[in-house]
Amino acid sequence: MSRPGRVTLILGVLGFALLLVLAASWDVCASRPVGAPQLQLRAHAEGPLLAGAASRPLAVPLPSAVAGYGVPRATAQAVAFPVRARALVLEAGRVRVGVVTLDVLVGDASLDGAIREAARALGLTDVWVAVTHTHSGPGGYAKNPVAQLAGTGLLHARAREAVVAAAAGALRDADQARQPVSLRFGESSVPELVGAREAPSDVDARLSRLVFLGNAGPVAQLLVFACHPTLVPRPPAGLDPDWPGRLAEMEDARGQGVTLVLQGAVGNASPALHGEPAGRLDAFVAGLASATDAVPLSAAASGLGLARVSVGLPGPDAGRLVPRLLRPLANNTLCAAAPAEATVALLRVGPLVLLGVPAEPSAAAGRVLEEAAGARRVVSLVDGYLGYVETPQHLAHGQGEAERQLLGEGFLDALARAASATRAEGP
């Protein structure tokens, strides 16, 4: 190598070493500004309500990575129980909204955008993309590198295309199936099925049920319940939606229409049943189905309201995950993949006011968000994924999901300010 070449190589090595030193000592995201919430959408309509619902299989190519746990990640050669996209389209006046649930682990902002683009021709006022959070569903659909490493596996174009096609197709089918409906709403509690995996023993055991009743019977229902779908034995015999998909299929077979299961404040909430894994899953689904059927329902007035608000986010805080000396390097690594803003969405259908957030709030954090938005239930894992959300008190004492929250202490405050901005000023 010539002398100029050696000099260039040495300077390059020194420059690279300097970059490593800076990355390990200077936290790039520490001073990231957190802006004020920005209203993106607000719509409201009263009067007669139309609803349509449909489902389509997530026809991902096999073999498929199984999302839900760390490496080494299991590979499924078959589908043990159908994994699906389920959609509900609601219309009142000039407001039309689509809600789609996917039997997958976590959302991905890029995936959600692709689904909205594929359904653009429907002219919906807004679209909610929620996931059931099954830990035995298909992987390979997320572009976010942190999501790929943490649970979904490497991106595979055909798997992603299959998820987008199923979601958009279900929305189209639901839109075409719209018909006049009336509402029946009720709520109960199922504390025997769900418990906290970490102290404190604070979980939201409410089961909320909203039924859309057509002339010939139920068209669809929304169920809101919070519990991690981790009942399928590992490794699974094949792709499996765990309790949410199994409950939805059981309710459909009982004539309750298409059932969309929405996760409530699912942070730190796990199945409370004990015994053999296979037996626990069957018992959990049977118990929750019985509780669903037993929810006392009352006729409710219709009405449809929407709001969507964006807000800036604090940078990552790896202080609870790695030693002090490695925190800047870990924060900078996470910062490259962590969005600088998030959106929260409000959906009011008759008496049920839902606040969708792209995270997993604990029960305590969920109550903060519900109060801020004036919502009856917070819904986790809507329109992307940013990890767990805990209260500052739990973070300070290392309780609940404190050890798993990736963003800084101001995460809950940012979401709460956005939730407050979704409140309607008028009726």
CB 199 within 8 A of CB 399: yes
CB 86 within 8 A of CB 101: yes
Q: 3-state SS of the chain?
A: CCHHHHHHHHHHHHHHHHHHHHHHHCCCCCCCCCCCCEEEEEEEECCCEEEEEEEEECCCCCCEEECCCCCCCCEECCECCCCEEEEEEEEECCEEEEEEEECCCCCCHHHHHHHHHHCHHHCCCEEEEEECCCCCCECCCCCCHHHHHHHHCCCCHHHHHHHHHHHHHHHHHHHHCCEEEEEEEEEEECCCCEEECCCCCCCCCEEEEEEEEECCEEEEEEEEECCCCCCCCCCCCCECCHHHHHHHHHHHHCCCCEEEEEECCCECEEECCCCCHHHHHHHHHHHHHHHHHHCCCEEECCCEEEEEEEEECCCECHHHCCCHHHHHHHHHHHHCCCCCEEEEEEEEECCEEEEECCCEEEHHHHHHHHHHHCCCEEECCECCCCCEECCHHHHHHCCCCHHHCCECCCHHHHHHHHHHHCCCCCC
CB 264 within 8 A of CB 380: yes
Q: For residue 214, is pLDDT > 60?
A: yes
pLDDT category of residue 11 using cuts at 50, 70 and 90: very low
- Lowest mean pLDDT of 28-32, 208-212, 376-380, name the range: 28-32
- What phi, psi does 54 have (nearest 5°)? -165, 165
Instruction: Determine the Cα–Cα distance for residues 419 and 43; give it in Å rounded to an integer.
Output: 16
Instruction: Determine the Cα–Cα distance for residues 62 and 59; give it in Å rounded to an integer.
Output: 9
pLDDT recorded at residue 23: 45
Query: Which two structure tokens, joined as six digits, stand for 359?
Result: 């995270």
Q: Give the type of residue at 368.
A: V
Task: Return the number of other C-beta atoms located less than 10 Å from residue 2's C-beta.
Answer: 7
Instruction: Determine the Cα–Cα distance for residues 397 and 400; give it in Å rounded to an integer.
Output: 9
pLDDT recorded at residue 274: 76
pLDDT category of residue 17 using cuts at 50, 70 and 90: very low
pLDDT recorded at residue 273: 79
Q: For residue 1, is pLDDT > 90?
A: no
Q: Mean pLDDT throughout 226-232?
A: 96
Only one residue has tokens 């300010």, namely 417
Q: For residue 115, is pLDDT > 90?
A: yes
Domain boundaries, the chain: 37-427
Q: How far is CA 181 from the centre of its chain?
A: 27
Which tens digit of pLDDT belongs to each residue from 253-290?
A: 999 999 999 999 999 999 997 777 778 999 999 999 99
Q: Give the type of residue at 115.
A: I
Which tens digit of pLDDT belongs to each residue from 393-408?
A: 999 999 999 888 888 8
Q: Mean pLDDT throughout 84-109?
A: 96
Instruction: Determine the Cα–Cα distance for residues 356 and 370; give it in Å rounded to an integer.
Output: 10
pLDDT recorded at residue 33: 66
Q: For residue 322, is pLDDT > 70?
A: no
Task: Return the number of other C-beta atoms located less than 10 Å from residue 413's C-beta.
Answer: 16
Q: Mean pLDDT throughout 133-159?
A: 90
Instruction: Determine the Cα–Cα distance for residues 32 and 22; give it in Å rounded to an integer.
Output: 17
Query: Which two structure tokens, joined as six digits, stand for 293?
Result: 């059927």
pTM: 0.90
Q: What burial letters (b/e) apply to 29-56, b meaning 16+ CB within 10 Å?
A: bbebebeebeeeebbbbeeebbbbbbbb
pLDDT category of residue 147 using cuts at 50, 70 and 90: confident
pLDDT category of residue 345 using cuts at 50, 70 and 90: very high
Q: Is the peptide bond before 361 cis (omega within 30 degrees of 0)?
A: no
Which tens digit of pLDDT belongs to each residue from 149-205?
A: 778 989 999 999 999 999 999 999 999 999 999 999 999 999 999 999 999 999 999
Query: Which two structure tokens, joined as six digits, stand for 229?
Result: 């779908």
Q: What angle do CA 136, 142, 146 make, to 5 degrees?
A: 95
Instruction: Determine the Cα–Cα distance for residues 113 and 210; give it in Å rounded to an integer.
Output: 27
Query: Which two structure tokens, joined as six digits, stand for 136?
Result: 């035995």
